[in-house]
Structure 1
Amino acid sequence: MTTRTDDSESAAVESRDDLLATFAAGEKRREAWLIGTEHEKFVYRTADFRAPSYDETGGIRDLLNGLTEYSWQPVIEGGNVIALSGPDGTISLEPAGQFELSGAALETLHQTCAEAGRHLTQCKAVGEKLGIGFLGLGMWPDKTRAELPIMPKGRYAIMLNYMPKVGTLGLDMMLRTCTIQTNLDYWSEADMVKKFRVGLALQPVATALFANSPFTEGKPNGYLSFRSHIWEDTDPDRTGMLPFVFEDGFGYERYLDYALDVPMYFLYRDGKYLDVAGESFRAFMDGKLPHLPGEKPRLADFTDHLSTIFPEVRLKSFLEMRGADGGPWNRICALPALWVGLLYDDSALDAAWDLVKHWSIAEHEQLRRDVPRLALKAPAPGGGTVHDLARQVLDIAAGGLARRGQLNSAGDNESGFLNPLHEIVASGKTPADRLLDLYHGPWNGDVSRVYSEMSF
């Protein structure tokens, strides 16, 4: 989740136009389009697989401090180091200590993969000194909520209190899940709309390909992506497939109306988070927020508010693709490769839109419901399965990457980053399917084997 690294006061919001300008500011010419990749991983003690707390010796705080050896600068909240900033972006903490790199905005996938490699090399070097390991899955395979620590970030205390009031699985989302996501640009409002629609429609395909969360508290949970299922009962006000995106007239104005109708979580003032959970941003615009009577929002308040909305695709001043489970190093690079291939080439974007443009809202919703449990075996709109659809999607993405013509020093284009996904489609087995095969076979029902065989 977003971590504040700038405490300076932003401009006041005078009108809706100020908020709409946030989205319009994301418009960039094609040559300026960049790629941002975010990936989370679980942190555990190598001695006993326990999730370390923030304060303990060799815990999360020491891990953050250890990474300052690599020129990362600490971000302080309430006297605690809660994040790091540097040339490779921001390192931040999820609520139970899941470790996230929100990478820098980069020009090519070759740079993205090099960035991920640097980050993991640094983490492993510090982790070896502290007795800490890193696990790439979509959900803790064995931990109960009670076994997990809470990080000292003010926004998380507010969210942890609010989540049980609006859904049954919100705490699991916060404490027990990890994801990979990518952030991409657009050149106009119309381009944003088309990319949003394609991204939203095909998000279940990404969920299926990256499905990697089949265990809960040491046993199979009946899903291949339980992380994705969790979002179905987290908070209906701020999650889901957003049917209005496919309606005529969708654009910045309609997304703004949606965002303003999502209840607030918090405000940031004087270095502290204020609990305004459930309050209306519309009322805040009118100076009628009970906690700050007469005060109107700043632009940073709106930016914070946008970060608390959790649909499958999210609009800020860029588009976030949010459907994938966490996974190992090669799939960190594969996720942005999938979406860059689909969305950053006109022919690929057109071909992807042709696949989905006739789907009804009911078909979108049914696909979203089926994929967490069935993944590649889920029925696809119009016939066939998600497995069939994934093969077509990957072919389109590979063509898009080849046409981008971004070569590394060896003369390779970016399409090789899709190879882990091609292998999944060729085998018909998701990462979760393979984990279940191991669980029922060589692991003999012992989920703890995941630490020795699936860690970074």
Structure 2
Amino acid sequence: MVEVACGDRPLVFEDLVRWFEQGAKPASEWRVGAEHEKFVFKLGSHEPVPYEPGGIKALLDGLTRFGWQPVYEGENVIALERGMANVSLEPGGQFELSGAPLETVHDICEETGQHLQEVKVVADELGLGFLGLGFTPLWTREQIPVMPKGRYKIMRQYMPKVGSMGLDMMFRTCTVQANLDFGSEADMVAKFRTSLALQPIATALFANSPFNEGRPTGFLSARANVWTDTDPDRTGMLDFVFRDGFGFETYANYALDVPMYFVKRDGQYIDVAGRSFRDFMAGKLPELPGEKPTLKDWADHTTTIFPEVRLKQYLEMRGADSGPWSRLCALPALWMGILYDSASLAAAWDLCKHWEIDDHERLRADVARLGLKAQVSGRSVEDVARDMLAIASEGLKRRNRLSGGLVDESGYLSELQHIAETGVTPAERLLELYETRWAGDAGRVFEDFAY
């Protein structure tokens, strides 16, 4: 992370803006970081897995044989690091790989494959399995063990105050993400607007969570629906991104007004949930009287904001359900093809630039329920998805980053292209299995779709 030198003086607003600005890189240095989460379950019983005994801690400990270094919070291992990649656990024990910044989709797929092979070796010894789905198909909130991580305790207490489904977001969802660079403020704005507008299209393509507690929910992405009532202060489609004058300052002002969760001091999380970062900058936090924030506090605060696209010192694509191995590489491929080729970026913006402000939030809600059958500005999401994938494919071909087998990156889009061409989301295929071969037993997904 780039730190701004402020000496001993207190932070001012310009420092916060400059922190975002310093993420800009020349195109030759653009990379992609891929992230994915997965549910851990007990083989046979399909039960969720506790931290210990024989659970998440043992899984983390077992991975150290592959060169991963443990990260502790107090006496508890809560993450692993290897180079610029890390493995972490989400509030309900969801297991996440946050990959290193890499140059190509080929590199991302190699990293992801190596990770899945390593965790499978350890999980097999422990009698555990992994499932890539956007929302847990069986477990209630009460069944899911709580991981020993300080920030999650604070969030767990705060979430029910601001939305009805925040705890579901924490404990019962899994996602796949891609993090991409920008070259300047103008480039950030173009990428942010385009990717935010099209994020619901990615949600539809990746929709893979039709069940809750063993039954169909009426949603194709229960995960996406959860985000519509998690916390309106820190989620959504950010109308201001599409308005004239948007830039780093606009986002910094937005982030300042998002209520805080915590301040970290000496390895401990101090609960300041609901407090104002503006007050913190003025030294007016009751929990830390007279103390003012550092840039690390600002960086931490930006991680507690959850819009469909998030700005840090890069842009995070946050709209997709987790899924099988074959689709984990497709998400970074999709966004690299659109955002890392200037012609593709312009063509993708042409798809959505005429959409009204109200269209964005409506579409976000509709795709959670209808997937590719949703409509926007007189077109079906299925049609928009086909165009979006064609644009991404051309962008990847123009990038011409070849694997050892002299194959470009466009092949990683093939599964998404099949979904768009058939108009059938992964969730609808799961529902068909539920109605036919599974005979109403949603638990069969643990057998048929485990990693």
Q: Is TM more than 0.5 here?
A: yes
Q: Please give the alpha-carbon distance, in whole angstroms, between the structure 2 residues aligned to 1:47 and 1:352.
A: 45
**Aligned pairs, how many?**
448
Say if 2:413 is the partner of 1:418: yes
- The residue identity in structure 1 corresponding to 2:404 is S
The one of 59, 77, 88 aligned to 1:63: 59
Superposed displacement of residue 448, structure 1? 1.1
Superposed displacement of residue 13, structure 1? 4.7
Deviates most, 71-80 or 44-53: 44-53
The one of 185, 192, 197 aligned to 1:196: 192
Provide Cα deviations, 1:305-333, integer angstroms capped at 9, x if missing partner.
00000000000000000000010111110
Alignment partner, residue 17 of structure 1? 14
Superposed displacement of residue 47, structure 1? 2.7
Superposed displacement of residue 87, structure 1? 2.6
The 5 A counterparts of 1:226-375 are: 226-375=222-371
Say if 2:389 is the partner of 1:394: yes
3-state SS of paired residue (2:310)? strand
Superposed displacement of residue 404, structure 1? 0.4
Q: Please give the alpha-carbon distance, in whole angstroms, between the structure 1 residues aligned to 2:366 and 2:96.
A: 28
The one of 31, 40, 44 aligned to 2:28: 31
The one of 124, 144, 148 aligned to 1:148: 144
Alignment partner, residue 135 of structure 2? 139
Alignment partner, residue 171 of structure 1? 167
Q: Is the 8 A contact 1:265 1:279 kept in 2?
A: yes
Runs ≥4 residues deviating over 6 A: none
Superposed displacement of residue 52, structure 1? 1.1
Q: Please give the alpha-carbon distance, in whole angstroms, between the structure 2 residues aligned to 1:378 and 1:426.
A: 15
Alignment partner, residue 113 of structure 1? 109
TM-score after normalising by structure 1: 0.97
Pair 1:113–1:88, CA change in 2 (3 A): farther
Alignment partner, residue 186 of structure 1? 182
Q: Please give the alpha-carbon distance, in whole angstroms, between the structure 2 residues aligned to 1:377 and 1:98.
A: 30
3-state SS of paired residue (1:448)? helix
Provide Cα deviations, 1:348-375, integer angstroms capped at 9, x if missing partner.
0000011111111011122112110001
Q: Is the 8 A contact 1:341 1:401 kept in 2?
A: yes
Superposed displacement of residue 199, structure 1? 0.6
Pair 1:11–1:357, CA change in 2 (3 A): farther
Superposed displacement of residue 180, structure 1? 0.3
Q: Please give the alpha-carbon distance, in whole angstroms, between the structure 2 residues aligned to 1:396 and 1:447.
A: 36
3-state SS of paired residue (2:329)? helix
Superposed displacement of residue 78, structure 1? 1.4
Q: Is the 8 A contact 1:312 1:322 kept in 2?
A: yes
Q: Please give the alpha-carbon distance, in whole angstroms, between the structure 2 residues aligned to 1:211 and 1:13.
A: 45
Superposed displacement of residue 17, structure 1? 1.6
The one of 418, 432, 435 aligned to 2:430: 435
- The residue identity in structure 2 corresponding to 1:138 is G
Provide Cα deviations, 1:90-124, integer angstroms capped at 9, x if missing partner.
10000000000000000111000000000000010
Alignment partner, residue 447 of structure 1? 442
Alignment partner, residue 44 of structure 1? 41
The one of 68, 73, 86 aligned to 2:69: 73
Superposed displacement of residue 158, structure 1? 0.2
Say if 2:394 is the partner of 1:407: no
Alignment partner, residue 7 of structure 1? none
Percentage identity across paired residues of the two chains: 60
TM-score after normalising by structure 2: 0.98
Unaligned runs of 5+ in 2: 2-6
Q: Please give the alpha-carbon distance, in whole angstroms, between the structure 1 residues aligned to 2:44 and 2:449.
A: 16
Superposed displacement of residue 88, structure 1? 5.7
